[in-house]
Amino acid sequence: MRTLTALALGALMLGAVACGGPYPQSTLDPAADFGSHIDELFRWIFWFAVGVFVVVESLLLFVVVRYRARPGAPEPERVHGNTLLEIGWTLVPAVILILIAAPTMQTIFRTDGTPPEGALEVDVIGHQWWWEYNYPELGITTANELHVPQGRPVSLRLTSRDVIHSFWAPRLGGKRDVIAGRTNRISFTADSAGVFLGQCAEFCGESHAKMGLRVFVDDSVTFTQWVAGQRAAPPSADTLPDLARRGWEAFRLIRDPASNSCIACHTVQGVSGGVLGPNLTHMGSRSTVAAGALPNTAEGLARWLRDPPAEKPGSKMPRIGLTEDEIAALVAYLQLLR
Ligand code: HEC
Ligand SMILES: [Cu+2]
């Protein structure tokens, strides 16, 4: 008995520890209307499930104990059919199913992605293994880190350049498949400012687990500043300090093979127009490198440039064989692209 009590207490303690938080990706802690609709529906259904569980398990326990085999007990009486019971256990589940189905349908329609009036449109394009974001209205293209204004509806138009991905920022809303040749939608209005983590939720190849995303919900001042920063032209080459200037040259260098040149795959506004990789015009303003694989620090950038497939298996950015001098110069340049 003592061992059992100790074990039970231990299990309880472990369970309680799991409730400690923080929960950066919990659907149970919504921060937008879409997330709240899902959460409310979940809680509604949860209590029916609890009710069914308690009734079924209590009956089971009662029957097991009360009618267990006892030595010398008489043969139990045989019964056939019970109209009242049968009507009961048909009607009650039917009513429960209706009570679950009605709000489920309602939630499906409420979260179908129809853009609300005045929504900020963002085109989201899934790539192996990063996210591209275009804001047609604002003329901004960025990657992996989505910025949205707090309190204003946002409408994401989701599509893919390659395989099927799925966009999921659990505290805001989703998830929804991201499919080439199709446009799916997610609309939400975020109610609190902050950084919300998310990730690709559909297996999409080797680095699926490293296809993270961050949604920055900015208050109106911060969002306006961010927009202005993203729309500003990058510094011109003649204003760059020495090291960064060498980075700019390394960035523009045509390498052998030419497909290994940064400009073959990346856009920096006014410098190059590659589209196979993320737009780097404002790389320095992001907090992470390669969809959250590394922090956007000098060290993180250098590790990425040294050997991308070592950081993200299968990476579509190859190992280019840069010298350490080139890496230092490129890092200095990229960090100035704020
Ligand atoms: C063959 C195409 C290709 C070439 C060449 C290439 N890249 Fe990339 N690059 C990519 C792709 C694709 C990604 C996204 C990888 C991922 O996150 O999975 C990427 C990611 C990056 C990132 C991270 C971007 C972000 O938003 O986090 C940086 C920085 C970068 N590349 C810099 C460079 C530099 C500097 C060069 C030249 C030395 C270069 N790349 C050459 C395709 C390329
Ligand atoms: Cu994916």
DSSP per residue over 277-319, as a string? S---TTGGG-SEETTTTEESSHHHHHHHHH-HHHHSTT-SSPP
Residue having the nearest C-alpha atom to atom 33 of ligand 1 = 262
Alpha-carbon separation of residue 106 from 29, 110, 291 (angstroms): 21, 6, 34
Place 72 in a pLDDT band, splitting at 50, 70 and 90. Answer: confident
> How many angstroms is it from 276 CA to the middle of ligand 1?
8
Tell me yes or no: is domain 237-336 CATH 3.40.50.11260. no
Q: Give the atom of ligand 1 at the shortest distance from the alpha carbon of 296.
A: 27
* Cα 17 from Cα 8, distance rounded (Å): 14
DSSP 3-state of 157: strand
Alpha-carbon separation of residue 2 from 9, 15, 29 (angstroms): 11, 20, 38
* Cα 266 from Cα 337, distance rounded (Å): 13
CB of residue 320 inside a 6 A radius of ligand 1: yes
CB of residue 277 inside a 6 A radius of ligand 1: yes
* Cα 174 from Cα 179, distance rounded (Å): 15
Q: Which CATH number fits domain 120-231: 2.60.40.10, 2.60.120.20, 3.30.70.360, 2.60.40.420?
A: 2.60.40.420
Residue 20: pLDDT over 80? no
In terms of DSSP bridges, do strands 194-200 and 212-218 run parallel, antiparallel, or are they unpaired? antiparallel
Q: Give the atom of ligand 1 at the shortest distance from the alpha carbon of 333.
A: 35
| Burial degree of 248 (CB within 10 A; 0-12, 13-18, 19+) | buried
pLDDT confidence of residue 7:
95
Residue 18: pLDDT over 90? no
The residue length of the chain stands at 338
pLDDT tens for 277-324 read 999 999 999 999 999 999 999 999 999 999 999 999 999 999 999 999
pLDDT confidence of residue 24:
86
Six token digits for residue 231: 């729309």
pLDDT confidence of residue 270:
92
Using omega within 30 degrees of 0 as the cis cutoff, is the peptide bond preceding 93 cis? no
CB of residue 262 inside a 6 A radius of ligand 1: yes
pLDDT confidence of residue 43:
96
User: Are the C-beta atoms of residues 275 and 267 closer than 8 Å to each other?
Assistant: yes
pLDDT tens for 135-168 read 999 999 999 999 999 999 999 999 999 999 999 9
Residues contacting residue 265 through CB under 8 Å, at least 6 positions apart: 259, 274, 275, 276, 277, 317
User: Are the C-beta atoms of residues 322 and 330 closer than 8 Å to each other?
Assistant: yes
pLDDT tens for 41-71 read 999 999 999 999 999 999 999 999 998 888 8
Q: Where are the domains of the chain?
A: 120-231, 237-336
Phi, psi (5° rounding) for residue 124? -110, 125
**What is the pTM assigned to this prediction?**
0.90
pLDDT tens for 201-254 read 999 999 999 999 999 999 999 999 999 999 999 999 999 999 999 999 999 999
pLDDT confidence of residue 67:
87
pLDDT tens for 174-203 read 899 999 999 999 999 999 999 999 999 999
pLDDT confidence of residue 77:
86
User: Are the C-beta atoms of residues 124 and 110 closer than 8 Å to each other?
Assistant: no
Residue identified by tokens 């993200």 is: 312
Q: Give the atom of ligand 1 at the shortest distance from the alpha carbon of 320.
A: 38
Residue 4: pLDDT over 80? yes
Strand partners, 124: 133, 158
DSSP 3-state of 76: coil
CB of residue 200 inside a 6 A radius of ligand 1: no
pLDDT (mean) for 263-276: 95
